[in-house]
Structure formats: C-alpha cells, structure tokens
Structure 1
Amino acid sequence: MSSNILFLPFRKSHSLVLSDAIRQYISGKYDQHPDMFKQDLEVIDSLRREAINVREPHVSGLKKIAAYAAQLVWMGGKFPIDIGADFTWFTALGYNTKRPITQDNLKFELCNVLFNLAALYSQLAVSVNFSSPDGLKSAANYFCLAAGVISHMKDKVVPELRTAPVEDMDIATLESLQELLLAQGQECFWQKAVMDGYKDSSIAKLAARVSDLYSTAGDWAVQSEAISSEWIHHMTAKHHHFAAAAQYRQACDCLEKRKYGEEVARLRDSMLCVNEALKESRYVNKTVLGDLNGLKNKVSEDLKRAEKDNDLIYLNPVPPKSELKTLERAGMVVARVPPDVSSPLDHLGDNAMFGAPLFAKLVPFAVHLAASIYEERRDRLVSTQLTAPLSALTASIHSTLSALSLPGSLQALEKPLGIPPALLAHAEELRQSDALARLDRSFADTAKLKATDTATFASGRD
C-alpha cells in the first residue's frame, strides 16, 4: 500500500442472528406464519455473516457487502425500521473505536454496511500498483466509487435514520471523507500525467485541483469529532504540497514560454507553499515528508537558477503574487455511486446479480400499516358518529321518564319482558291484607245501605 495515501478502515460488528428477530416480528405482527419463510431466514443470516466478515481488500468482497445492502433496502419495504434486532457496531474513526454502539434500526445497519463498502473501495485503491499508469487509473476509479458510496450515505441513508447519526457518520465527517477520497483520486491522475510526460501547464491544472480538494477535506475535518488530528495534518500538508507543485509546474511552463519574471514569481510562491507544508513535518509520515523535501530541493535549485538568469541576462520585472493569474483547474474526478448502491432493487431477481428478493411473499409493511390505520379510523368513526350519540339519547330518555315519575315505565323500557317489580310488590301487599274480601264486603255493605236508603225514600214519598 502507498503510505502517502489514506484509506478508510472497516467498521466491526458483533455476530447477530437476524432471523430470530424477523421470525418473532412476523409471528407477532402478521397473519402469515414464519415457517413460510424458512429459507429466506437462513439466507439473510448467511448474507450478514459474509458481509461483516469482509476484512481484506479483495474484489470478491464487493458483491458480498453490496448483496446484503441491497436486501436491507428491499426489507425496508417489508418491515418497519425498528424490527426488534439489536445491531451492534464499532466506529472506524475517532477516539472511541473500542466502544460499541447498539441500535434497533435497519437504516443504522445499512449505514454501517455501506461504510464498509466505501472502506473496501478505498483499500482496493491503495492496494494497486502505483508505479504503472494502469494501476493509477484503477486506483482513481476505486477512489471515485468510494466517494460515491459516502455521498449516497450522506444524501439518502443518514437522513432516514430517525436518530442522530453516530460521531463518524455526521455530515462534517462524511463530507470530509468524500473530499479526501476525491483528492486522492485526483492525485492519481496528477501522478499519471507526470508519469506519461504531459505538458507542465496541464500538470499544473491537475495539481491545483488536488490542492483544492485537500483544502476542502481539511476544512470539513476540523468540524468533525471523528477525524483524527493526524489526518487533519496530513490533509493540510497535502493541500500546501500540491499548491506548491502547481506553481512549480506553471513556473516550468513560464520558462518554456520565456516569461522569466513570472517564472521567478511562481517559484517564490511555490517555495512559500512548500514551507507552509513543512510546518506539518512533525505530524506527517516519512513518505509525505520525503515528498515535500524532494519538492523543496527542486524548487530551491530552480529558483536560484531563475533569479540569477533573470538578474544577469533577462532583466524581466518580477510581478507580485497579487498580479499573478490564478491557475486554471482541471478536475478529473467526481463521486460516482455504484449502480448496485444507487439502484439496488434493480439487481434483485431470480436471474439478477444478488439473487431473488427475500420475503417477497410477505405482505408489505405499508399495506399492513394501512390496514391498521383503516381499522383505527373505522372504530373511531363508529364511536364518534354512532355510539356516542346513541348513549346521549338513551340518557335523555331515561331523564325524561324519571321527570314524569314513571319508574314502572322506565323499568319496563329497561327490562321489557315481564311485569314491573314495583307492580308485583304492590299486588303482594294487597293479597296479604285480604284486600279482595274486604272489597267484596264493602260492596255488600254498600248494597244493603242502598236498599235501606231506597225503602226510607219510598216511605217518605208516600
């Protein structure tokens, strides 16, 4: 591996039987039996096991990680984000790499898997042969793909976490890593141009763009809690190094075009940039430091020669730095999201690269959720539109009957079958007091009194 190039380390995870959580969720939340998906449950465990055990920079690991990531995206349409599985991961950057982070979150799992995919691309980049043009071209391609994966995480996955991202997945960290990977990809094109003998003006444009990218990466890195100070010093040194290299190459172009005064000005600026880079000498590795000292020696020798020739022979005015034309940039890299990451579902199918989608026969979570919402709204509608008004009307009727002193009628309404209890009680009281016999005697006495009164009335009339 090239020691003047940085790569992303892998994130590590604990083993997890994901199928247990999925089985339990299906059993508790769906009408379908988990045994219908026995094979799918075995496959998802196998995919995760293979993905988290990728530890070497080999192209075979790309498919293992991407296949599991694609199935996680597909499962997001079948299950909720909190499926009941405790995904445990260790951060790859920063000062807390030994502290585990556990979340019940499918998107958190996807973020970690994609980070490892970006890490694998970056490690593949630094493992190629940097001494050949084809190797440099391949490395640049891997760096662009790694940056693309980081970009996809930042724009598409992290916003869906529903929780604050962990410290090495916040926006500042991901932005810094993306720019760093692009800077190193651009650096590969610069090195290839040097190797292929491109014109100095073209090499200067490439170097200027490398410097810009390292500068942006460093600006984001100082806002991150996860990017180490060692990496920040590396980015700072690289920024000034390539600013110096760009000015040096432009000075060489000036010499060729007989612009001797501008040549001196640009060589002086190049020396200033080299000296700025060397301020980081205590913190960068020996390879980076060796590159800086080599450039400094070259610039110093050319500057002495240029100043001497101009002072003695050409006598061209040396313009101040403020009057130097800003160098043009030649950008050769962009963050390219791999197709199997940007459109993972297109790679799932019976004859597709990642195989058939798992749990295809399971009712989608969105449908299950919609059914639950329908039932809830139906029950609320019945309660508010029917049950509540009916209860209010029943209470009003009871109140009216009570106001009319109709307890018997009220009881009859409440218990419409049989004679009201109050009426039965009153009849029992009458029976116990021999009311019928007394009533018959009253009728007989009344008849006797009537006969007596009639006779008395008749005699009086006569």
Structure 2
Amino acid sequence: MNNLVYIPFRITKDIAIGEELRRVIKRDYYQSPNIFENDLTQLTKIRKKIVSLKDEQVDKSLEIFLRQYYVQVVNLTKKFNNEIIMFEWYGTLGYEPSGPYKLRSLKFEQYNVIYQLGSFFAQLAIKENRFTEEGLKRSCNYFQMSAGCFEILNEIINEDNFVMDEFSNDCLQFLKYLMLAQAQETIWQKSINSEMKNSIIVKLSIETSNLYSKCIEYGNKSDFIKLEYINHCTIKHYHFHSASNYRLSLMSLESQQYGQQVAYLRKSLELSVKGLKYQRYVKNYVVEDLKGLNEMIEDSLKTAERDNDLIYHKPIPNELPVTQGAFVVNTIKIEELRIPLESDRLFLTNLLPYKIIQISLAYKERQDSFILQKILEPLQSLNKMMNHFLTERELPASIDALQKPENIPESIIQHSQDIISYGGAKAIENLYDTILNLSSDCRDIHEGCSSRLTIEEDEDEFFRQKYNELWDRQTSKAAGELLWNKINSMDDYLNQADKADDIILSNYHQIKGYLQLYQGGYESLSKFIPNSTLISLKPDTRTILIDIREALNETQELELSRKHFLKKLENKSKDNNILPKLVDHFKKNQIIEISDDTFEPLYSHHIKVFNEDLEFVEWSKNKQIVLENKIDELNNLFIANFNAQEGNEEANNDRRSVLQVLENAYSRYLQLITNLNEAAKFYNDFKTKGLKVVHECDEFVNNRRKVARDLELKLSPNSEPISQPRNQLPKYDNDYDDSDSDEEGRFEGPRIVTPIPIVASPVPMDRNDTSTPSTKELNELQNHFNQTRIRK
C-alpha cells in the first residue's frame, strides 16, 4: 500500500477529430481532404488512446501517445482556426466529475493534454517500487516531470489569458507543489533506506514539511481541491515537521545536550498530535505512519525526561535554534511542451497554414476597402455633385419644358423606373423602421450601462451608511469616473442621432407624395405634369438649347459609363483573389514563420492591378469638370437670350417648376437612402462599442463587489458576506465582435445627416385644366403630400 497520492486523469468524450478536420479542409482550404486521408485517420486513432486512459493502469508506452498527440494538437493550432472543433472535458479533482466543460478551442485541447501528461507522470511515480534505490530514483524523477507539466500548463494559460476554474493559478500551483513535495519525500525515503546522517535527514524533512505547507496554502484558496487532498497534505506537513524535531533530538542526545533533547521531543510530540487531528478522509497507511511516529516519540520522551530528571539535571530551553531545510528537487520541464514542433512527424504538412487563410481574408478586406474609398465612393460623390450642379440650374427641367411641352421627359421616366426598382416609399419606410429598432437597442445598451453603475452606487452607499468612516474605499462616482464619462458620451451621441433621424423623417414627409407620383408611372406623371405651349425660339437661342441638350446627354453617358465600369470592377475584384499568389509565394520561398508583414510586398504589387481603374476615376472627374464648365457657360448664355424674348418666361414657368421639383424629389430620394444606410451603420457601430462598455461595467461592478465582500469580512468577521447582488443586472448577448472598436471603447463622434438641397414646391396642374390653381388648392395638395403613416 502506498502513502502517496496521484492526480487522476481528466475525462473526455470521444470525437472523430479526423472527420471534423476533413469537413473544414473541404470547406475552407481549397484543397482536397483525400490528400491527407492517412494523417486524419491516424489522428483519430491517437485521440482514441487519450480518451481510453484509465487511472492506475499506466505504463511507459502511453507516454509516446500523449506526447505525439500533444505535438499534433499544437501543429493543428498553426494550421487551423482555433475555434474549429468543440471539445468536451470533465474535471476529476472533486468528489465526482465536474462539467462537462465544452469549448470550441484547439488551445483548450492542448491544455488538457498537458494536464493528462502531468497526471500520467504522477501515476508512473506512484507505480514505482519504493523499496529499491532505482525505483525511488525513477519515482522522484517522474514526480518532478509531473510538477514541470503543471508549471508549464500554468505558464501557457497565463500567456494566453485563458480563464477556467480548474485551471486557475491556485489549483495548478497546488498540483505542482504536491508533486514536488512527494518528490522531496522520495529523496527523504532514500536517505532513510541508506541510513544517512541525522543532519541530512533533518534538512530533507524540514523542506518536505515546507513543501506540503505550500500545498495547504494553495489548496485552501482553490474551490476544486477536495478535503482529502488538503488533510493528506496537512498530516504530511506535521509528520515531517515532527520527524525533523525527533531527528534533532537524536542529534542532541549524541552531543549530550539532554535538556535540548527533551525540548525537541516535546515539540515533536506536539506536532504529531496536531497532525492526527486531520486524519479524516486520509489513507489509513498515511495515518498509521504518523501514529507509529507518535508512539515512538512518546516512548523516547518518557525515557529522556526520566533520565534528565534523575541523572543529568540539564535545563530545558524554551527556545530552540532554527534549522534550515535542504530543497533538493525541482520541476523538470519537458522542452517539447514549449517547442513541440521540432519533434516527431507532423501530420498535414502540406496543408496551408490557417494563418495564410487569415491573411488572405485580411487582404481581401483591404482590397475591398481600397476599392470603396479610392474608386466607388469618389464616383458616387461625382454623381451627386453632378446631380446637385444640374438641380441648382433647374436642368434638364428648364429645357424639357421648351423642347417637350407635352411629352414626359426621358429623364423623368428613367427616375420613375429607378424609384420603382429601389422600392419607392416603402423602401424608405422599411429602412426607417430598421434604424428605429437599432436606436431602441442602443438606448437599451446605454440604460444598461447606467443602471449597472447606479446599482453598484446604491450598494456602496448601503455599506457607507452601515460602517460610516470605516468604509474607507473610493466612492463609486470617483472609481467609475471614466465609465460615467463614456456613458454620458453615449447619451450625447444618441441625442444627436435622434435629431438626425428627425431630419430624415422630415425630409421623407416632404417628398413622399412625389414618390407616390413616380411609383404611379407614366399615367400618374402625365396627369401631374402640366403642358406648356410650344415657344418659337430665335435660331441662335435654339442652337444654344441644342448644345445644352447634347451636353446633358454627355452627362448621362458619363453616368452610364460609370455604372458599366463599376459592374466590370466588381467582377474584376472577384477574379483577382490574392490567395493563389500567397500560396505560390509561401511554397516557393519555403516560409516557416508567418507574420502579418510576411506578404506585405506581395500585396503592394497585387493592388497595382487596379491602377487603371484609378486612372478611370481621374479621367471621369476631369471629364465632369469640363462638362460642368461647358453646361454652366451654355446655360448662362441661354438664360440671357431666352429672357430677352418677351413673354417666354411665363409661358413655360409652371411646367418647368413641376419638372424641376420632380428632379429634386428624385435627388432627395437617393440621398435619403444614403442617409438611412449611414444611420444603420452608425447604430450598428454604436452597438458594438456599447456592448464593450457593458462588459467594462460588468467587470467594474464585479471587482467592486469582490472588494466590498473582502472589506465587509474584515470589518465584520462573524457576519455572512453578501455573495449575491441585491439587484439583478440586465443581460446582453455576448456574441459580438469588437475588433473594429478602439482600445478604450471610445465613440468617435455624432452621426451627421448629409444635407439635401431644397427646391421650391411645384405648381401642379391638371393637363386638361389651363387655369392657374389658387394658393389654397396648392396648400391642400402640399399638405396631402406631407401626410405619412410612419411616426418617430
């Protein structure tokens, strides 16, 4: 029977890891998984070995499988995204398995394999023959290797900022020191078997006791170390402390210091008696060891006291000299756990590293952003500028009223078709409903942040009233000043966004009636647009009019060329995938270490494929400048000549006004869609950053509550600390990506609504009614247009 303890294996559910990886390769890696069939099959077999590990049924051959699987798991972290597979593990340190702990993480699998290795070496150490010198040497070595595994596991977890209770620092430190204590005890056992000097045995005993004391310290801090382990370490601590004093008494006897001998024996007996108080749940063999020592000390003390009283009459000292221990063991770290990829045959060697996939996706995003910022947005801005330029000059309405006094202009018909294809007024309403919902969500987030800090402030005030000046920590307002600043900024931005939303709604009200006219198509427009009489123009004026029409046709052709260009650009962007170039470069140069800058020169060369597209943007811009100058010059000349003819202006004023307001309504419709999309983006960005502030508030409140519990225990040691919050905090979905937010979750600024040019209301006329409508009739018609079903 053994008086040492081992660490049981953790338990895991079997998964076909090869099949899981096969699906991922087929889906994401542009390679056939059949190439890696043998590797995937072997990987599944090795993990089955890990799943089948049984406590107290270990042999040295299992180390090969554990090490090989560990190497392959670390290799997978280099080849795949960390979250590709769900792993399920159960903890075994408690009275029954805890969990399951399910995590979609290759890193989690890596941590558990290191743990299994630590457990494996501990069980190998227990299995060794402790009655032979070679057996004790191997046992000590295995215990130190086990301690090294738990130390490396703790280091890697801390580097990765991984948090899990059973892998906490206190829990892993307990396991490490337990292994070191048992390794030291093995050296002590060897010194006993070899009948070494008492002075050596004393030093070994003292340090063994100290190591078990470390175990008790960390074990009591962890919720996952059960009482059996703690009591075992406590008895061992007192046993070796008592044994060291017993050996010191023998040394005192040898040097004829009889009073000191009695003092050491009394202290030794006191320690052994304390240790026996912790025998509950501890192995009988461990308890019997201490009982045997206790009986031996009692007999020795009786003899020593009798001899000193009757023969030696030496004074018994109250204080004894301090003896330093000898720490002769240390953690043995397996280097392969730190640099695993330098050993064993690696699977999936020809599979692309996932880092390349990630970099290619990052470059794709950069390429899309480049096209958006350098090509798409500039062209859209040029179109808006052109539209605004023509609207300011009442073109083409002013010349349509002259050249087409009865027909509906082609531009108006095209606008009608565009508005119908975009979804008309319904599209605006749907987008507006979306931003209302997003606005409400953002308000909830803001209120959630505020309520969290308010709840914590109420709790803090409760303690301040209870303990008065003894409650000597920062006030909630002072401690949470930075968070309150963020929350106030959130409120300011949302208030400004509300105003922007109201502007959008107001603009929509102003053009909704005209959108309905557009949606009515040719019949609706023909009833609304008044006719005008054909005006006889002077030859030179007619020539200028023709020139303006040709210039306007050129603007339409320019806009159409931009549409065709953007369609081709979309296909060009899809066809120019950088991934094949990355793969060729990776294989050709046999790159081992991949960083974010490894392929930067390649990307710089790749993006030059869009240089000719940048040239088109510049050409299109220059072309527009020339056209605008030409149109401006011709329009000014036309106005001067046209106004010189008496009666011309009033003859087509009504038709021109209606056509112009329809042009303006179309322009404002496009701008409304842009503003609504920008509003949706603003609120989505706000939600991302706002949820980050929610998490910061949660962390702040939890930390404050932890400090409050500790302070309350200090002020009222016998009271029950508040373990649950008095107020339930609101919950939010944690599934969000904050990669686009800045480090501190700051909000970059309010949303601005792009101004929409306002043109005077038209003078609508029935084409069968040649009379001029009254002001009252026009106001009634305008009010009808301004009605809407949606409300803020």
Give the TM-score category using the shorter length. Answer: 0.7 to 0.9
DSSP-derived class of the 2:131 partner:
coil
Q: Secondary structure at the match of 1:174?
A: helix
2:92/2:98 contact within 8 Å kept: no
- How do 1:432-451 residues align onto structure 2 when only pairs under 5 Å count? none
Match in the other structure for 2:86: 86
Where does 1:280-359 land on structure 2 (aligned, <5 Å)?
280-320=278-318, 323-348=319-344, 356-359=345-348
Contact 2:198 2:248 in 1 (8 A): yes
Listed as ranges, the matches of 1:54-73 within 5 Å are 54-55=53-54, 56-73=57-74
Structure 1 unmatched ranges of 5 or more: 349-355, 418-462
Query: What corresponds to 1:130 in structure 2?
Result: 130
Deviation of the 1:33 alpha carbon: 2.0
Distance in 2 (CA, whole Å) between partners of 1:342 and 1:200 is 40
Give me the TM-score of the superposition, normalised by structure 1: 0.83
Instruction: Please tell me the residue identity of whatever aligns with 2:557.
Output: K
Distance 2:9 2:179 in 1: 15
1:446 is aligned to: none
Secondary structure of the residue aligned to 2:146 is: helix
- Partner SS for 2:89: strand
Using the TM superposition, give the Cα deviation of residue 64 of structure 1 relative to its aligned residue in structure 2, in angstroms: 0.9
Shift of residue 157, structure 1, vs aligned partner: 4.1
TM-fit CA distance, 1:120: 1.4
- In the alignment, is the contact (CA less than 8 A) between 1:95 and 1:226 conserved in 2? no
Residues of 2 paired with 1:236 and 1:249: CA distance?
A: 20
Contact preservation (8 Å) 1:86, 1:102 = yes
Q: Aligned letter for 1:230?
A: E
Residue 338 of structure 1 deviates from its aligned partner by 2.2
Deviation of 1:61 after TM superposition, in Å, equals: 0.6
Amino acid at match of 1:71: Q
Q: What SS class does the counterpart of residue 77 from structure 1 fall into?
A: helix
Alpha-carbon offset, residue 90 of structure 1: 1.9
Q: Distance in 1 between matches of 2:271 and 2:167?
A: 32
User: Residue 433 of structure 1 aligns with which residue?
Assistant: none
Q: Distance in 2 between matches of 1:382 and 1:280?
A: 73
**SS of the residue 2:252 aligns to:** helix
Tell me whether 98-107 or 368-377 shows the greater mean CA deviation.
98-107
In the alignment, the residues of structure 1 paired with residue 294 and residue 244 of structure 2 have an alpha-carbon distance, to the nearest angstrom, of 13
Provide the rounded CA distance (Å) in 1 between the counterparts of 2:281 and 2:34: 58
Check the 8 A contact 2:90/2:98 in 1, yes or no. yes
Does structure 2 retain, via aligned residues, the 8 Å contact 1:173–1:227? yes
Deviates most, 308-317 or 285-294: 308-317
Aligned to 2:147: 147
User: Hey, what does 2:9 align to over in structure 1?
Assistant: 10
The Cα of 1:283 is off from its aligned counterpart by 3.2
Report the AA paired with residue 155 of structure 1: E
Distance 1:279 1:211 in 2: 17
Q: Which amino acid aligns with 1:342?
A: R
In the other structure, the counterpart of 2:395 is 406
Larger relative contact order, structure 1 or 2 (CA cutoff 8 Å, min sep 6)? 1
| Pair 1:261–1:410, CA change in 2 (3 A) | farther
The one-letter code sitting in structure 1 at the alignment partner of 2:193 is M
CA distance in 2, matches of 1:282, 1:108: 35
In 1, are the aligned partners of 2:121 and 2:143 still within 8 Å (CA)? yes
Tell me how far apart the structure 2 counterparts of residues 97 and 380 of structure 1 sit (CA, whole Å).
50
Alignment of 1:227-238 (within 5 A): 227-238=225-236
Q: How does 1:243-262 map to 2 (within 5 A)?
A: 243-262=241-260
Which amino acid counterpart does residue 15 of structure 1 have in structure 2? D
| Pairing 1:158-177 to 2, within 5 Å after superposition | 159-160=159-160, 163-165=162-164, 167-177=165-175
Alpha-carbon distance in structure 2 between the residues aligned to 1:263 and 1:389: 95
Counterpart in 1 of 2:76? 75
SS in 1 for 2:6: coil
User: Contact conserved, 1:94 with 1:225, CA < 8 A, in 2?
Assistant: no
Aligned to 1:382, what secondary structure does the other structure show? Answer: helix
Q: Displacement of 1:253 after TM fit?
A: 1.3
- Which residue of 1 is the match for residue 382 of structure 2? 393
Q: Deviations over 1:278-322 (max 9, x none)?
A: 1113332211111111101111122122222223333332221xx
Partners of 2:13 and 2:106 lie apart in 1 by: 15
Judged with a 3 Å threshold, the aligned counterparts in structure 2 of structure 1 residues 24 and 324 are, in CA distance, closer, same or farther, namely: same
Unaligned runs of 5+ in 2: 397-548, 561-792
CA 1:158–1:67: 2 relative to 1, 3 Å: farther
Amino acid at match of 2:30: D
The secondary structure found in structure 1 opposite 2:221 is coil
Cα distance in structure 2, aligned partners of 1:45 and 1:219: 41
Aligned to 1:32: 31
Change (3 A) 1:345 1:412: closer
Q: Secondary structure at the match of 2:177?
A: helix
Using the alignment, how far apart are the partners of 1:168 and 1:368 within structure 2? 34
**Superimposed CA distance per residue, residues 331-382 of structure 1 (whole angstroms, 9 cap, x where no aligned partner):** 121111123333322212xxxxxxx211111121222212211221222133
**Aligned equivalent of 1:240:** 238
User: Could you tell me how far 1:411 is from its partner in structure 2?
Assistant: 4.3
Q: In 2, Cα distance between the equivalents of 1:382 and 1:281?
A: 74
Q: Give the match for residue 449 of structure 1.
A: none
Aligned residue in 1 for 2:476: none
Q: CA deviation at 1:159?
A: 4.4
Structure 2 match to 1:115: 115
Indicate if the aligned counterparts of 2:231 and 2:280 stay in contact, CA closer than 8 A. Answer: no
Identity %: 32
- Rg larger in 1 or in 2? 1
Aligned length: 404
Q: Residue 130 of structure 1: SS of its match in structure 2?
A: coil
Separation in 1, partners of 2:283, 2:145? 26
| 1:346 counterpart letter in structure 2 | E
